[in-house]
Structure 1
Amino acid sequence: MFSRYVLRRDRGPFSVIDIWTGEPAVIAMVPQRGLSELDAQHTADLLNRRARAGDRVLMQ
Structure 2
Amino acid sequence: MLVLVAVQYTVSPGDTLQSIAEQYCQGDDPRQVAEFREGIRELNYDVIGESDVWAGLVLEINRWE
Q: Flag the structure with larger Rg.
A: 2
Q: Does TM, scored on the shorter chain, surpass 0.5?
A: no
TM-score range normalised by the length of the shorter chain = 0.3 to 0.5
Higher share of residues assigned strand = 1
TM-score between the two structures when normalised by the length of structure 1? 0.40
Higher share of residues assigned helix = 2
